[in-house]
Copies of this chain bind each other. A is one copy, B any other.
């Protein structure tokens, strides 16, 4: 434990409730365009569903790196017709504004206290696929006390590409074994572990709503499995 100098965090799902946050803003949007607010959860899920395929083109080298705000905006235009909305009839500025819903997500109840305690003796930074400005806005919205904003845009690589992890450790001037990846997603931890990172799992069983079936428990040999971020901090004596 003494060797962990920095904690780096997955953000969407692990630290913030993206589904409720996006659905909250989507509900108003849907109603403005003649749809029901009851479709908001499905809208959030459909929008998020295009997240991995969009990044995959960049991971495969089929497209140069662009920040997540750009991918979210493109994906939003793809989602509209699924909900019967003609994207040609929605002003671009209104879509730009809805796209910022990802910048205004609320933290889970334990997030701020857990991060603050871990920060007292360690470096803490996001290692998210979210871009720098998105992470800045989210931190100001939710009082996330980051030491630095790291992640995909600094590394110019999307998780789970090894470069996303290895370049983050390099920027921190730390060997991978001195960096602990914290995530609610087993796949993220598996990729980090392959790069030599230490790993900590926290279940977020409501990330995908009440019917969630994935990532309900740790599925790998993670270094720490904690109830939440406050529990993780306690295990490190902070």
Contacts and interface: CB of A to CB of B under 8 A. Distances in A.
A202 B153 CA distance: 32
A171 B136 CA distance: 11
B136 A123 contact: yes
Interface string A93-107: 000000000000000
A229 interface: no
Interface residues of A, number: 19
Interface in A134-156: 135-136, 139-140, 146-150, 153-154
A235 interface: no
Contacts of A147: 136, 139-140, 146, 149
A211 interface: no
Contact of A171 (B132, B146, B173): B132
A133 interface: yes
A27 interface: no
26 contacts: A69-B173, A123-B136, A123-B140, A131-B171, A132-B148, A132-B150, A132-B154, A132-B171, A132-B172, A133-B171, A133-B172, A133-B173, A135-B148, A136-B147, A136-B148, A136-B172, A139-B147, A140-B147, A146-B147, A146-B148, A147-B149, A148-B148, A148-B149, A149-B149, A153-B171, A154-B154
